[in-house]
Amino acid sequence: MGAFLRGCVLFVLLAGVPGRALAHASDSGIKLLLPTGYYLVGGTLAVAATVLIAAVMPARWAGALFRPRILWRGPLPRVEILTSLAGAAILALLLWIGFTGTPDPLENLLPLTVWTLWWVALPVLCAVVGNLWALVNPWAGVFALAGGGGVVRLPERVGYMPATLLFLGFAWFELVSLSPEDPGGLARVVAAYVLFTFLAGALFGWRDWVARGECFGVFFRFIARLAPIQVARDGGGDVTIRAGFPGFGVLHGPAISVSGALFILLALATVSFDGLSKTFPWLGLIGVNPLEFPGRSGVVAANSIGLVGAWAALAAAFFACILAGRWLGREGGAPMAGRLALTILPISLAYHAAHYLTALMVNGQYAVAAGQRMLGLPEMHVTTSFLNTVADVERIWQAQSGAIVAGHVLAVLLAHAAILAVTGDRGDAARRGAPLAALMVGYTAFGLWLLAAPTGA
Amino acid sequence: MATDDTPRGTDRRTLLKGAAAIGAVAAGAQVAPGLTGFAQAQSSAPIRIGFQVHRTGIGAAYGRWYDRTTKAATRLINDDGGINGREVEIIAEDDGTDPKRGAEVIEKFASKHECDVAFGTLFSHVVIGSAPRAGELKLPYFVVSEGHHVASGMLNRWTLQPGITDVKSQVQSMAPWVANNLGKKVTMIYPDFAFGHDHRDYFGEAVERQGGEVIAKIAIPPRETSFFKYLPKIPKETEVLYHVMVGPGVLTFVKELGEYFGDKRPEIFGFIDSLEAVDINSPGLEFLEGSHFWEGYPRYAGPDQSEHDKFFRAAVGVDDNGASLSDPKDVSTYAHMFGCWETLHILKAGMEAADYKGPKDRQALVEAVEAMDVLPESRAHPQGSKLFNGRTHQVFGHQHISRVEGGRLVPVHRTSIFDTVYADEVDYTKMSF
């Protein structure tokens, strides 16, 4: 217990350091007035300090920090069938609104729900309370009642590739295609994916397909492993609820294959590329005047290549660090790419939350207004004053940079704990983990730079 | 490009006629809304106006206020009985501030939504990408863009800009007051692409006609976000510094300008475009105190606020500082959004003059608008009286110069419409539909 508390204090200290620097931030010109450079340096140093502290602290601290306790175990009725059916009904209603409602993406509840509530807010919620998507996805309930399906086996060899490719398609749709928020177009894409998933589940069996093919199931399940509460139902139907420090699910759940690592790297690469694609250096690279953005139609080819290129670059860097670590460490180390890819998840979530924060603050208001309109209530005024007020922009920046640093600090600690669990030796773990730790320190700087950089798109 | 903006021949006669008419009407009664009379409704089907709005993309901040103003104007028109006794319905489609998407939206307005007209676009590249399709589909396209592309002759007879003035007229009209009140030796700082070049060219010519001189032209590469190394290029004998920086670097530019000059500085003149929706009171903008700005429509209501401006603000939901009544820190794009209000009222007037009944009357609608000239200041035109040039499809109006005093913009000069006019570059009325 003492070690756990010491670990918590350590974590809070490390993650809290950058907050001391003074800065303001903005979505536009105000951000550039602020000394975000101090945050960049301070935040990167904080993560670097975490690496050094982890290397010298007693080996048992890391394990103790992440050791979970069982809160409850016992039988629990399968509420997830009911919630999933309710989710299917709500989705059907949203699709109907998408097909027949207003074409205005800021007034139609389908794009507002999909892009703001589901894609931005739900991952953050899942990282706090657990895999809510498993409860509300539209397929699980139907398959539970109709039988799990399964005519053909989904070969082990393909690993997570189906989910990975589908996620890449989703990322392209979100970031590169011309009008992902158009209600009619979005309704068509969502309906197609829902139908496709029903067919795939019927063909390969829902159990296998949701494990390695349904790309959002895979994504939310990975993100939920960061939550301080982990819920699992075993074969006998009993539910076990474990609690622990956020991220313990990364260390204590099942490991994943290289193909699973590629999925996680894709998730981080795509959200990072979303940020990168709007920066002046990227626009300069593809020959676009940042003060005269031509619209998405002008950058489809460049951003398609960039999206895949970002994934390739991140994967190459990650696996290079894994190989370098293997070379630096003692002989006979177990393969760690899968387990260490899981430790990237806090970085992914942190950047996701930071990057989409202002979109949530604006479009979240539109979602509330649309709900009010549907219920016949007076609509709220959607304001963007917080993007043009220095004090508010400062708070937004502090939240964003704080999240980035906290995510990277957690990732460093998790990676160190993961390697320690395999090698047991503090020095060997430090050497093995050094390349990946360096990558994480560098990625802190990169993430903070992305958030602070002026945007032209 | 015209080399001489002095109106010649028929242009001058038309202008003088227009100026006299404006004077007479402005001195006398105002045109009350709905006074044109209610035509017998042939059909109770609504008039469908396709609103091409930047809901997402780089134009979203403007789109937000364009949308609010459009809704307010529509409410007003419908409360007054609609157009020809028919209710006005706005169908808003997001163009993503993208020209290809813009053309698709025009297509949807014409076919899927069966709109009578399209309206509302701001960003030039979207207008330029959409107008050809509107022309092919013979869909009247009323843009609210400020771009000179309409009057330049680049577009087609179906595209009109009757509700907002264009940047060429705005820029050139600044020269007389600037040259005679701020100084005749001008240094211009602008971003090195078309937008900045237009300012350089239009203002350069105009100030030379006033006996002034542009002694330095400092073109900043668009990718710059820090400007210190360019500031020493400002000649010491500069009397007026004319700046039109845009983008995320604007506030940095102002701050660095302040740090560079300190207390001893030339007169400074800029365009409010760089600070639309930004509170002038923001930290870092103190250096702007005492400097001057072009305003399309003064953001801060002054002591001689017209009743039409009062009405407009109340209808759209902004206060006397140009910010939302619901959130006084939510500053509107006041210099631009009036264009939607006025354009919708032009649409109403045009449809009533043409006795518009349906899509077969679209050509008659365009011709009716082409026949407009004097538009007195009124509830329909709160920004001020206007002169519409049917040949170039572009409206001309008063421009404003304001001074920053105590964190507010105080209007100090209102140009005549005369100052803003330039020679015709096209005659759309001679083109076929």
Q: How far is B62 from chain A (nearest CA, A)?
A: 12
**Which residues, 6+ apart, have CB-to-CB distance to A248 below 8 Å?**
A66, A67, A68, A228, A230, A242
**Residues A293, A299, A303, A304, Cα dihedral to 10°:** 160
Contacts 24+ apart (CB under 8 A), B109-116: B109/B50, B109/B52, B109/B139, B110/B137, B110/B139, B113/A103, B113/B48, B113/B50, B114/B48, B114/B359, B115/B48, B115/B49, B115/B50, B115/B91, B115/B139, B116/B47, B116/B48, B116/B49, B116/B140, B116/B351, B116/B356, B116/B358, B116/B359, B116/B362
pLDDT over 60 at B27, yes or no: no
User: Scanning every residue of chain B, which has its alpha carbon at the shortest distance from the alpha carbon of A179?
Assistant: B96
pLDDT tens digit sequence for A41-88: 999 999 999 999 999 999 888 889 999 999 999 998 889 999 999 999
| A33, A106, A388 ranked by CB distance to B331: nearest | A388
Mutant choice from A114, A179, A277 vs B, greatest count of B C-beta within 10 A: A179
For the record, the structure tokens of A7 come out as 């670990």
Q: How far is B244 from chain A (nearest CA, A)?
A: 12
Question: Where residue B38 falls among pLDDT bands split at 50, 70, 90?
Answer: very low
A365 CB neighbour count, 10 Å cutoff = 18
Question: Where residue A368 falls among pLDDT bands split at 50, 70, 90?
Answer: very high
Q: Which residues in chain B are closer than 8 Å to A284, comparing Cβ atoms?
A: 223
Q: How far is A433 from chain B (nearest CA, A)?
A: 38
User: Scanning every residue of chain B, which has its alpha carbon at the shortest distance from the alpha carbon of A287?
Assistant: B223
Question: Where residue B271 falls among pLDDT bands split at 50, 70, 90?
Answer: confident
Q: How far is A403 from chain B (nearest CA, A)?
A: 24
8 Å CB contact between A269 and A169: no
Closest-CA residue to B9 (of B399, B431, B391): B391
Q: Which residues in chain B are closer than 8 Å to A181, comparing Cβ atoms?
A: 55-56, 94, 96
Mutant choice from B101, B104, B195, B330 vs A, greatest count of A C-beta within 10 A: B330
Among chain A, residues having any CB pair with chain B shorter than 8 Å are 28-33, 102-107, 178-179, 181-182, 280, 283-284, 289-298, 380-386, 388-390, 454-457
Q: Which CATH architecture has domain B168-295?
A: 3-Layer(aba) Sandwich (3.40)
Average pLDDT over residues B24-37: 40
Give the pLDDT confidence score for residue B6 in this predicted structure. Answer: 41
DSSP symbol at A455: B
User: Scanning every residue of chain A, which has its alpha carbon at the shortest distance from the alpha carbon of B254?
Assistant: A33
Give the pLDDT confidence score for residue B41 in this predicted structure. Answer: 47
Residue B201 CA to residue B168 CA, distance in Å, equals 9
Question: Interface pTM (ipTM) of the complex?
Answer: 0.88
Beta strands at B292-295 and B267-271: parallel, antiparallel or unpaired: parallel
Give the pLDDT confidence score for residue A336 in this predicted structure. Answer: 87
The verdict on a CB contact (< 8 Å) between B251 and A105 is: no
Question: Where residue A163 falls among pLDDT bands split at 50, 70, 90?
Answer: very high
Give the pLDDT confidence score for residue A235 in this predicted structure. Answer: 78
Mutant choice from B51, B75, B101, B227 vs A, greatest count of A C-beta within 10 A: B101
CA A48 vs CA A112, A402, A416, A432, A445: distances in Å:
39, 15, 13, 16, 11
pLDDT over 70 at A25, yes or no: no
pLDDT over 90 at A389, yes or no: no
- Tell me the count of A-B CB pairs closer than 8 A: 141
For the record, the structure tokens of B140 come out as 């009247």
For the record, the structure tokens of A44 come out as 């990167």
Q: Which residues in chain A are closer than 8 Å to B330, comparing Cβ atoms?
A: 381, 383-385
Average pLDDT over residues A126-137: 96
Mutant choice from A99, A291, A449 vs B, greatest count of B C-beta within 10 A: A291
**Residues B251, B256, B257, B262, Cα dihedral to 10°:** 130
Three-state SS for B238-301 is CCEEEECCCCCCHHHHHHHHHHHHCCCCCEEEEEHHHHCCCCCCCCCCHHHCCCEEEECCCCCC
The verdict on a CB contact (< 8 Å) between A31 and B61 is: no
Q: How far is B308 from chain A (nearest CA, A)?
A: 24
Q: How far is A94 from chain B (nearest CA, A)?
A: 19
**Which residues, 6+ apart, have CB-to-CB distance to A453 below 8 Å?**
A275, A279, A280, A281
SS percent in chain B: helix, strand, coil, step 5: 40, 20, 45
Range with lowest mean pLDDT among B13-17, B98-102, B291-295, B354-358: B13-17
For the record, the structure tokens of A422 come out as 């395999």
Rg over alpha carbons for chain A, rounded to the nearest Å, is 22
| A182, A295, A455 ranked by CB distance to B248: nearest | A455
Range with lowest mean pLDDT among A95-104, A247-256, A312-321, A340-349: A247-256
The verdict on a CB contact (< 8 Å) between A291 and B222 is: yes
User: Scanning every residue of chain B, which has its alpha carbon at the shortest distance from the alpha carbon of A383?
Assistant: B330
The verdict on a CB contact (< 8 Å) between A32 and B330 is: no
User: Scanning every residue of chain A, which has its alpha carbon at the shortest distance from the alpha carbon of B52?
Assistant: A104
Region for residue B217 given its phi and psi (left: phi exceeds 0; alpha: psi -120 to 50; beta: otherwise): beta
A5 CB neighbour count, 10 Å cutoff = 11
Q: Which residues in chain A are closer than 8 Å to B246, comparing Cβ atoms?
A: 291
Residue ranges, CATH 3.40.50.2300, chain B: 31-165+331-397, 168-295
The verdict on a CB contact (< 8 Å) between A388 and B91 is: no
Question: Where residue B361 falls among pLDDT bands split at 50, 70, 90?
Answer: very high
Q: Which residues in chain A are closer than 8 Å to B323, comparing Cβ atoms?
A: 385
The verdict on a CB contact (< 8 Å) between A33 and B255 is: yes
Signed CA dihedral, B339, B340, B342, B348: sign only:
positive
Give the pLDDT confidence score for residue A119 in this predicted structure. Answer: 98
| B108, B317, B329 ranked by CB distance to A385: nearest | B329
Question: Where residue A441 falls among pLDDT bands split at 50, 70, 90?
Answer: very high
Domain B31-165+331-397 has CATH 3.40.50.2300: yes
Question: Where residue B283 falls among pLDDT bands split at 50, 70, 90?
Answer: confident
The verdict on a CB contact (< 8 Å) between B193 and A290 is: no
Question: Where residue A5 falls among pLDDT bands split at 50, 70, 90?
Answer: low
CA B174 vs CA A413, B180, B253, B293: distances in Å:
62, 10, 22, 10
Give the pLDDT confidence score for residue B207 in this predicted structure. Answer: 96
**Which residues, 6+ apart, have CB-to-CB distance to B28 below 8 Å?**
none
Mutant choice from B65, B66, B93, B106 vs A, greatest count of A C-beta within 10 A: B93
8 Å CB contact between A9 and A379: no
User: Scanning every residue of chain B, which has its alpha carbon at the shortest distance from the alpha carbon of A175?
Assistant: B57
Give the pLDDT confidence score for residue A90 in this predicted structure. Answer: 98
> Which of the pair, B6 or A297, is modelled with greater confidence?
A297
Q: How far is B225 from chain A (nearest CA, A)?
A: 8
Question: Where residue B3 falls among pLDDT bands split at 50, 70, 90?
Answer: very low
Phi, psi of A393 (to 5 degrees): -60, -35
The verdict on a CB contact (< 8 Å) between B225 and A280 is: yes
Beta bridge partners of A73: A240
Beta strands at B240-243 and B374-375: parallel, antiparallel or unpaired: unpaired
Q: How far is A350 from chain B (nearest CA, A)?
A: 24
User: Scanning every residue of chain A, which has its alpha carbon at the shortest distance from the alpha carbon of B62?
Assistant: A384
| A29, A33, A178 ranked by CB distance to B96: nearest | A178
- Strand segments, DSSP code E, in B318-424 are 374-375, 386-389, 394-397, 400-405, 408-414
8 Å CB contact between A379 and A212: no
Q: How far is B68 from chain A (nearest CA, A)?
A: 10
The verdict on a CB contact (< 8 Å) between A457 and B58 is: yes
Q: How far is A181 from chain B (nearest CA, A)?
A: 9
Its pTM stands at 0.90
- Strand segments, DSSP code E, in A66-154 are 69-75
The verdict on a CB contact (< 8 Å) between B94 and A103 is: yes
| A291, A383, A390 ranked by CB distance to B324: nearest | A383
8 Å CB contact between A326 and A199: no
**∠A95-A96-A102 over CA atoms, to 5°?**
100
Average pLDDT, chain A: 92
Q: How far is B295 from chain A (nearest CA, A)?
A: 19
| B94, B279, B283 ranked by CB distance to A181: nearest | B94
Question: Where residue B37 falls among pLDDT bands split at 50, 70, 90?
Answer: very low
| A297, A383, A455 ranked by CB distance to B98: nearest | A297
Average pLDDT over residues B43-59: 93
Give the pLDDT confidence score for residue B282 in this predicted structure. Answer: 79
> Which of the pair, A16 or A101, is modelled with greater confidence?
A101
